[in-house]
């Protein structure tokens, strides 16, 4: 997630869509329903539809019949295709959460640990081209963050540490025109901040 440049247009090539990363949802609905029914005999179901009336989200904790839920919630299309899978542990998102536009068409996938995003999160536009790639640690941006417009041009590319901008940052307009190109250090920004002015500070 290409080296930064200071050119006036976006020059980084759009990465190829990683269609092989998320599992395809075809036929997932069937085994989810069967597994849920089997697990439901005398215990908490391991799979539940996200709109189950016994589920309740309170203070970022998902409850099932009043107790923190451990298992997976799912969403289905009218045709029965899986549109979302979200794993929970003790009521908080934990594991790989995935969403699809339809069969074989991933929308996004995010990793969670005890309710907070962890590691690489990826999103795609309906045509399969990348929408975002963001790295997290303990629920905060950490490392490289990239986003793209639906037309395939880059929207932003920046580096973060502990949730704060740290290092080179670039933003573009939808037509590819450079909107900002600066360096963030110790809470300050150095360089081309916007379309009307440049920062007065210089790099040490």
Domains and CATH numbers, the chain: 28-192 (3.90.930)
In angstroms, rounded to a whole number, what is the distance separating the alpha carbons of residues 192 and 195? 8
**Mean confidence (pLDDT) of the chain:** 83
Tokens of 200: 């007065």
pTM of the model: 0.75
β-pair partners for 188: 185
Give pLDDT, residue 36.
Answer: 47
Q: Read off the pLDDT band of 198 (50, 70, 90).
A: very low
Give pLDDT, residue 108.
Answer: 99
pLDDT above 80: residue 30? no
Give pLDDT, residue 6.
Answer: 37
pLDDT tens, 1-29? 333 333 334 444 455 544 444 545 544 54
Q: How many Cβ atoms from other residues are within 10 Å of residue 131's Cβ?
A: 18
- Which of 37-46, 92-101, 134-143, 157-166 is the least confident region? 37-46
């Amino acid at each position: 997630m290409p080296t930064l440049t200071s050119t006036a247009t976006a020059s980084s090539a759009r990465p190829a869509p990683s269609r092989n990363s998320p599992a395809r949802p075809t036929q997932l609905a069937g085994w989810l329903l069967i597994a849920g029914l089997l697990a439901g005999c005398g215990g908490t179901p391991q799979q539940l539809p996200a709109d189950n009336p016994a589920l309740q989200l309170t203070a970022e904790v998902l409850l099932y019949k009043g107790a923190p839920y451990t298992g997976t919630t799912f969403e289905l299309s009218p045709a029965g295709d899986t549109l979302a899978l979200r794993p929970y542990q003790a009521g908080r998102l934990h594991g790989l959460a995935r969403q699809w536009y339809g069969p074989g068409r991933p929308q996004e996938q995010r990793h969670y640990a005890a309710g907070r995003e962890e590691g690489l999160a990826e999103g795609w536009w309906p045509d399969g081209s990348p929408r975002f790639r963001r790295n997290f640690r303990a629920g905060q941006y950490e490392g490289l963050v990239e986003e793209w417009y639906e037309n395939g041009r880059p929207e932003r590319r920046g580096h973060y540490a502990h949730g704060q901008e740290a290092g080179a940052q670039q933003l573009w307009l939808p037509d590819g025109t450079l909107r900002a190109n600066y360096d963030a250090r110790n809470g300050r920004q150095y360089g081309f901040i916007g379309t009307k002015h440049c920062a007065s500070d210089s790099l040490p």
